[in-house]
Amino acid sequence: MADSVNLTIDGKAVQAAPGTLVIDAAKKVGIEIPAFCYWEGLTLQAACRMCLVEVERMPKLMTACTLTVAEGMVVRTETPLVAEARKSMLEFVLTNHPLDCPVCDKGGECELQDMTFRYGAGEGRFDEMKVHVDEKQWSPVVYFDAPRCILCYRCVRICDEGMGVDALGVIYRGVVSEIAPNKEDHLQCDECGMCIDICPVGALTSGMYRYRTRPWEMEHTGTICAHCSNGCKTTLGTRNGQIIRGNNRDKSGINGEFLCIKGRYAFDFNSHPERLQSPLMRIGGKLEPVSWSRAIGEVARRFTEIRERGGRFGVVGSNRTSNEENYYLQKFARQGLGTNNIDHRRTGDVPALIDALAGRTGVLATVKDVYTAKASLVIGSDLAQQHPLLAYQLRANWRHHQSHTYTVTRGPVREDKYSVHGVRVEPGAELGALESLRDQLKAEPELVILFGDAIKGEAVRRLVEFGDSLGIPVKYICLVDYSNSRGAVDMGLLPHLGPGYQGVENPGMSLPEMLAAEDLDAFWVVGANPLEHNKLAADRAFVVVHDLFLTETAERADVVFPAASAYEKNGTVTNVCGEVQHLRSAVQTMGVKTDLEILGLLSKEMRINLGMWTPESVLREIRQTVRGYNVALPVIAAGGAAQSLPLNGRVTLDSRPELIQSAGDTLFTSGTLGRYSKTLLSVLEYPGVLYGEAAEPEADRR
């Protein structure tokens, strides 16, 4: 077969690879063929008939979305016949479509509205009664209005093929056909809202956005989701300083069209009524609201006093604060307070991987690699629950490229439905089980290994040795939990490692040691909740907490600073694959400050010079000083993802890998933050289970 096919579309010469669809070939030369049911990456449906085009030597109009290019083909998309066909098709589509655009949430960004405006007839010829069916609520976040549906099957396909959930189907026939959920009158699914996003009309609408505003009334800010570590871009629509909806409006992030329930709906923690909006100080045994200057002054005075008498500090950083804040915090602790007692909740053994791969290049996989690699191996993680974007990419890779997937997990996972080989193991036996896959993996041309917290410490080195022994190119992803878990490690929120995995002299105390140390004088928690399940042994310690809410840790504090959320600040975060992306402030909440500003004000009050505390200046310092973070600024500034590559030297390893423990969040939980999202709590599937997948192998079914 030839490498490319030559054809003519509307008089323009087009070259396209064999097998390309005419609709895609036309797009390449800037010709838009309208279509409802066609969606790049999903199976072909040819249900809407909007993409009809004239092709020379073909007796009838052809659907451009199913027609593959052929040598010498001559396609015409703007002839009177095509225009007439489009007009008639729209008339059919509108036969039962109600004229309720003024109350429809899709109004203003509706594909049917746009198409009718461009190609449609001003009036229809049908004057029969329209079929009316009452609107249904399928879940707290999904509403379905059947009459508006044009039966393009996009939702059915994205749910089945894209998500692998298969929660939607079509019932009845002909004019009364209807999309139906999997549990008769409600949905039991991932509640990801992909069906709502993909719906070209207002048939599927979001329960959270319902009647809140209209699309043109909102401002849109593309930022990075505050929940899991995959780093999806979510576009926050805001009005009057309130986040009204999240979606991926321009599909420009590493996640493309994908978003899960957390990225799409779980922004509502931001306007939770329990948000702290004033600093609190313990006065007479009770936390009372005080002014910022008083709270900052008190903390600065106590910290200075403790530092001067040589007291012990314990500093806990966050998995969700920006790289700039993490960097500034560790600098504050190490240079300002003179302590290495700094840690965070460790959720994956990144340092061990960086150490095992020292000196190599091109061995850290990106999110895109998961989509393009010929084979992938998932070890010890329920990917669809814990890392939804990676699971989506892996699945898309299988759908589009027939890639091979292998899983080694302690229970059934969704990837098993299409994996070549799924191995069930007892927790802790993951590494040993790899041997049974050795021969199969050796036959693969390349491999991406994704491993969770089951592989840590020495096991990481042995995993890399196993990868080397296969004799094929292998890339790795160390799975971590939260939006900036990777950044927290990279920025040196560890007692034994500084920024960029540089070892420090005199390693400090780890988090459990701080909690157990009875002589701790000050305990400073920036955006974490270590006292959720633990007690602080040091009764007399001066406790300072930065948080959005009065968490268990904040309740024990002497001073609580109300912090800005990730949706209220600028900065950068690093996702699970080490890709650095820009956070953009979408809204402001009255009375809060970003952690960076709080750190800056404290350092000023304590007369410690740590440099300017704007995100831009700290990022400049990070790029100059942190190994692997000299990432391309234009890429980040333009909303892209630039991978940090910290692989150039040996790393001092902590000898206690048991401190590394994933929180085991599902699709519907997100640590302490998830407790404050009413949407997450409201869905039927909450709290979800890991390794709870039970279904027949999909590979057989197809």
Partner 1 sequence: MASKIQDALSSAAALAKGMGVTLKEMMSPTITEDYPDVPPKFQERYRGVHVLQRDENGLEKCVACFLCSANCPSDCIYIEAAENTDSLRISGGERYARIYNIDYSRCIFCGYCVEACPTDAITHGHGFEIASYDTSTLIWRKEQLLAPASPRETQTAINPPPGVRSPV
Return residues touching partner 1 (CB under 8 A). 99-103, 107, 135, 210-214, 216-217
Angle at 372 between CA 669 and CA 350, to 5 degrees: 50
Cα–Cα distance measured from residue 331 to residue 328, given in angstroms and rounded to the nearest whole number = 5
- Rounded to a whole number of angstroms, the minimum distance from the CB of residue 267 to partner 1 is 19
Q: Which is nearer to partner 1, 215 or 512 (CB)?
A: 215
- Rounded to a whole number of angstroms, the minimum distance from the CB of residue 107 to partner 1 is 7
Kind of pairing between the strands at 542-547 and 559-562: parallel
**DSSP state letters, 230-276:** T--EEEEEEETTEEEEEE-SS--STTTT---HHHHHTTGGGG-TT--
Cα–Cα distance measured from residue 9 to residue 249, given in angstroms and rounded to the nearest whole number = 29
Which of 595-615 are b and which e, b meaning 16 or more Cβ less than 10 Å from the residue's Cβ? bbbbbbbbbebbebebeebeb
Between the CA of residue 521 and those of 55, 329, 539, 614, what are the distances in Å? 80, 18, 9, 30
Residue type, 409: T
56 by Cβ neighbours in 10 Å (0-12 / 13-18 / 19+) ranks as exposed
Q: Classify 580 in phi/psi space as left (phi over 0), alpha (psi -120 to 50) or beta.
A: beta
- Rounded to a whole number of angstroms, the minimum distance from the CB of residue 114 to partner 1 is 16
- Rounded to a whole number of angstroms, the minimum distance from the CB of residue 147 to partner 1 is 12
Asked if residues 76 and 34 have their Cβ atoms less than 8 Å apart, the reply is no
Q: Which is nearer to partner 1, 76 or 220 (CB)?
A: 220
Q: Which is nearer to partner 1, 172 or 216 (CB)?
A: 216
Cα–Cα distance measured from residue 387 to residue 486, given in angstroms and rounded to the nearest whole number = 14
Cα–Cα distance measured from residue 540 to residue 178, given in angstroms and rounded to the nearest whole number = 65
Per-residue DSSP letter, 318: -
Cα–Cα distance measured from residue 178 to residue 181, given in angstroms and rounded to the nearest whole number = 10
Contacts of 465 (CB under 8 A, 6+ apart): none
Check the CA dihedral 149-153-154-159 and report its sign: positive
- Rounded to a whole number of angstroms, the minimum distance from the CB of residue 119 to partner 1 is 22
Cα–Cα distance measured from residue 457 to residue 660, given in angstroms and rounded to the nearest whole number = 9
Q: Which is nearer to partner 1, 268 or 325 (CB)?
A: 268
Q: Which is nearer to partner 1, 100 or 552 (CB)?
A: 100
Cα–Cα distance measured from residue 106 to residue 606, given in angstroms and rounded to the nearest whole number = 53
- Rounded to a whole number of angstroms, the minimum distance from the CB of residue 101 to partner 1 is 8
- Rounded to a whole number of angstroms, the minimum distance from the CB of residue 214 to partner 1 is 4
Does residue 687 have a cis bond before it (omega within 30 degrees)? yes
- Rounded to a whole number of angstroms, the minimum distance from the CB of residue 103 to partner 1 is 5
Q: Which is nearer to partner 1, 71 or 100 (CB)?
A: 100
- Rounded to a whole number of angstroms, the minimum distance from the CB of residue 109 to partner 1 is 13
Q: Which is nearer to partner 1, 218 or 563 (CB)?
A: 218
Q: Which is nearer to partner 1, 6 or 242 (CB)?
A: 242
Q: Which is nearer to partner 1, 107 or 507 (CB)?
A: 107
- Rounded to a whole number of angstroms, the minimum distance from the CB of residue 243 to partner 1 is 15
- Rounded to a whole number of angstroms, the minimum distance from the CB of residue 213 to partner 1 is 7
Q: Which is nearer to partner 1, 242 or 570 (CB)?
A: 242
Which of 438-470 are b and which e, b meaning 16 or more Cβ less than 10 Å from the residue's Cβ? eeebeebebbbbbbbbbbbbebbbebbebbeeb
Q: Which is nearer to partner 1, 102 or 471 (CB)?
A: 102
- Rounded to a whole number of angstroms, the minimum distance from the CB of residue 682 to partner 1 is 16
Asked if residues 575 and 486 have their Cβ atoms less than 8 Å apart, the reply is yes
Q: Which is nearer to partner 1, 107 or 591 (CB)?
A: 107
Cα–Cα distance measured from residue 55 to residue 63, given in angstroms and rounded to the nearest whole number = 10
